[in-house]
Each structure stands twice: as C-alpha cells, then as structure tokens.
A and B are shown apart, each in its own frame.
Chain A
C-alpha cells in the first residue's frame, strides 16, 4: 500500500515526490520535475564506483538495477533539495529509501532539516 503525500505551499502551488501513484496530480497545472536526493553507498570507494556506473548506464538498465542490489551500508544525500546528508546509515537499501521519503516529505512541509547532519 503506497502512501501519497501532497504539500500545498503558501502560494497555493503543489509539491510532491514523483511516484507512480502521484502522477495524476501533475495534471493540476504546469509541472516541473526535479531531482530531490540520492541513495548512495556509504563507503567512499563503493560510492565512487556506484556514481561512475550510474554515469554511463541508463537509470532503467540492468546495470543500474544491479547497483541497487549492492550490500549496504547506504546513505541518503539530499544535496539537491535540503542540502544535507542524513545522519543515518542503512544496511538495507529500501530502509534508506523509506528514510529518504520520510525526510523529504517532512522537509517539504517544515522547510527545516530535522534529524540531519552533513
């Protein structure tokens, strides 16, 4: 069961994560899609290798999919939005993604960086 979180900004416009379930809200007006964050290997060398591979393969390729099965720990880098790397490290990539989603939705609403450190 997917959760959809929609934030209505003070100016009446909408902000929400780009998911399969949220696509229809893009029809409410002109929409711009931007990168919010990255889930990356926490270890330096693995992170560089991950970035290199992702640089040369498409996001929907088998190579990219294989990268996502790497063992942790993983980190969440929200540089494109909140500008911080979350303090936690996650052995399971899905747990990192869950933390990423929770953080971003909280950040969209409150605009502050709770539970984060650089």
Chain B
C-alpha cells in the first residue's frame, strides 16, 4: 500500500520568496529586519508595513508598493493594493507560488543532503527528482 501527500504551500522562507519574486521579474527587492511602511501611488506613506518590499518605481508609475509582512508564526502575508491586483492577479499569484514552491523544494532537498537528479515540466506541472544516498 502506498500513500501520498498533498501539501498546500505557504510562504515561510524569506530567501525563497525573494528568489521567486526575482524570477517574476522584480530584481530590486528590499528586505528589512523590521517592517517598513509601504508607499502609495501619491508617494504617500501608508500605514501598511512589510519586511519584503517591491517599491512602486519598479512596478509602474501609478502603482503602490507591494509588500510581504512576516507574521509571528513565520509565515508571510501578501500586501497588494486593489489597483495593483489588476496586474498582480490570481494568475500572477499562482505563478509566484509555483516558483516559490520550486525554490523551497530545492532548498529543502539541499539542506537534507539530497542529490538533484532531474526536472521535468509537463502541462504546467513541474516534477523534481532527487536521490537520498543515505537510504
């Protein structure tokens, strides 16, 4: 008998989240130890704060900052204004999550000492193969 696991990935790894955002095209990303205020499209300081920030100048003239706030449990909450959700919609979020999942899977495997074997992509799904030399 075999069993399988379905895991709903959540953003917990800062390094991998930044890596995923870079893969989505944002090369200038601020990472702060303490949360910083986001800036709105009028260059106004918003009450919302975040540890990971993509400044509006890197998104678009009429955009607000995008941020990721680290919660007490280590997970990150995405902060995207309603205006920016037109560009950063659910499809964008899904793509980001898939890139994050790949990055965090690779990192987890690396930490465990697994050897990377291959990557296959079929119809939008990605399959990663590793070997565990210890077992």
Contacts and interface: CB of A to CB of B under 8 A. Distances in A.
Contact of A17 (B3, B98, B108, B125): B3
Given A7-B126, A10-B124, A29 B132 contact: no
Interface stretch (B6-14, B42-50, B51-59): B6-14
Interface in A57-106: 59, 81, 97, 100-101, 104-105
Contact of A36 (B2, B12, B120): B2
A37 B3 CA distance: 7
B6 A31 contact: yes
Contact of B108 (A1, A11, A25): A25
Given A3-B117, A4-B109, A33 B4 contact: yes
Interface residues of B, number: 39
Contacts of B120: 109
B3 A2 contact: no
Interface residues of A, number: 48
Interface in B72-97: 94, 96-97
Nearest to A30: B8
Contacts of A2: 131-132, 135
A10 B108 CA distance: 20
B1 A25 contact: no
B6 A14 contact: yes
A78 B127 CA distance: 20
A113 interface: no
B7 A18 contact: no
B105 interface: yes
The SS class assigned to the A binding surface is mixed
Contacts of A26: 5, 7
A29 B75 CA distance: 10
A49 to B, nearest CB: 16
A9 to B, nearest CB: 6
B104 interface: yes
B100 interface: yes
A3 B135 CA distance: 9
Contacts of B3: 17-18, 33-36
Interface of A: 1-18, 20-22, 24-39, 59, 81, 97, 100-101, 104-105, 108-111
5 contacts: A11-B98, A16-B4, A24-B112, A35-B2, A111-B125
